[in-house]
Amino acid sequence: MMGPILLEDQEDARAAVSARISRIREISGATKKDFAESLGMSPQAWGDYENGKRDLPLSVAKRLRKTYSVPLEFTYFGIKSDLPHRIAKEL
């Protein structure tokens, strides 16, 4: 099954990063609220990143890395090679 378009060709464009982090949350099975709280932020702040209203700061990308093992290379550039298998198989 083919997953959603993750805009690999757009690298760190806001829409591309937004699409990737949204998909990571969906794969995790968490609601926006629960996902945001697991990263130590408000659901409103997370929603702004996931909906592409704000650029995802490095500090939040690092929390994604620490909490969900999502490499910065995937978050910002769409590089899938270092993704954990449980995530990569869902993309």
pLDDT at 3: 46
4-7 long-range contacts, CB within 8 A, separation 24+: 6/78, 6/91, 7/78
pLDDT at 85: 87
| H-run or E-run covering 26 | helix 14-28
Regarding predicted confidence, which is higher, 13 or 8?
A: 13
pLDDT in tens, 36-66: 999 999 999 999 999 999 999 999 999 999 9
Question: Is residue 87 within 8 Å of 24, Cβ to Cβ?
Answer: yes
